[in-house]
Amino acid sequence: MKQNILRSKLIKIFKKHKLSKEHSKICADYLIKAELVEAKSHGLTRLKMYCNRIQKKLINPKPKIKIKKISQSISHIDADNSIGFVSADIAVKQAIKNAKRTGIGLVAVKRSGHFGLSSFYAEQAVKKRLIVFCFTNAPPALAPHGAKKSLFGTNPICFGVPAGKTPFILDTSVSMINRGRIRHAHKLRRKIPYGVALNKFGKITTNAKQALQGTQLPIAGFKGSGLAWMVDILSGILTGSSHSGKTKDPFDDFSGPQNVGHLFITINPKIFIGKNFDKEMKKSIKIIKNLPKARGCDKILYPGERKNNTYKKNLKKDILIPSIIIKEIEKLDVI
């Protein structure tokens, strides 16, 4: 489907679900960008979920988002159960303003929802020549180390830094693969990779449905579990949001709003060494890219390069959409 046609459809759908024109555009743009970077798990496959939660009054289409000023550098945002794209977009822009003013920005968000890919918010800060950290918690998917029941989310960690034309952005869940990929595989009736999830009996499975009913495996064993706990503290406890397994699953739990928390930290990279930061960053990249290549590796890429290359490659192409998702879009378009 042509991008302009798809964007118009998405804006129309969100407006039908009572979002403002401005908020509808934000949501449409984030979903399309997820498709363009080929993060299908966070793109159109989630549209129906967002709309379902709006219809069930679990996402507030007309939120009164409040920004509380704690200091020149620190802000606390009450998202009023808005769709996560909107509250996170407002939050990272506020964090950018704070850092431009004082050298550092710290913005916490409570009463929000799933906000898509963290890298999209990090990218905004990096384009303003800032270092950025993004944290958000998620519904139970990982068992804490030593436990046999899922409690932590896949809780992504995102870090960005200016690095010339292509931003350096590390965006990774603390699970072997993100939960969205498993959801996407389940919707399209595909298998998931071996060794990333267990079924409810504790055995490795490649069946997406069984994985959703079981538990996902963290990266690096107990270290990944520790990182998941860290993000749960930063984006859950610190922000005043749900935590410790209380974040509701947006696809399956309609008992109330998700109350997801986000935390954004923005830093002016020149605060300590001035213009030398850019110089040393370029030096670091050059040194690493010039290292001897491992067998089968043509070039060494830094985090964010592959995603940026994919985005540029797909920017002027039509978006290929599976028939099951096209049917969902068309059905939502006539509501």
Give average pLDDT by consecutive 10-residue segment, the chain, 335 residues. 96 98 98 97 97 98 98 98 98 98 98 97 98 97 92 97 96 95 95 96 96 95 96 98 97 97 98 96 97 96 97 96 96 81
Report the CATH number of the 1-55+316-335 domain: 1.10.1530.10
Question: What pLDDT, on the 0 to 100 scale, is given for residue 288?
Answer: 98
Question: What pLDDT, on the 0 to 100 scale, is given for residue 335?
Answer: 55
Please work out, in degrees rounded to the nearest 5, the angle formed at the alpha carbon of residue 200 by the alpha carbons of 195 and 205: 25
Separation of alpha carbons 85 and 230, rounded Å: 23
Residues, the chain = 335
Q: How far is CA 96 from CA 131, 141, 166, 260, in A?
A: 10, 31, 19, 21
Are 227 and 235 within 8 A, CB to CB? no
The ranges assigned to domains in the chain are: 1-55+316-335, 63-175+220-269, 185-217
Question: What pLDDT, on the 0 to 100 scale, is given for residue 334?
Answer: 73
Question: What pLDDT, on the 0 to 100 scale, is given for residue 29?
Answer: 98
Report the CATH number of the 63-175+220-269 domain: 3.30.1370.60
Q: How far is CA 77 from CA 138, 155, 241, 269, in A?
A: 18, 20, 11, 25
Are 229 and 134 within 8 A, CB to CB? no
Question: What pLDDT, on the 0 to 100 scale, is given for residue 87?
Answer: 98
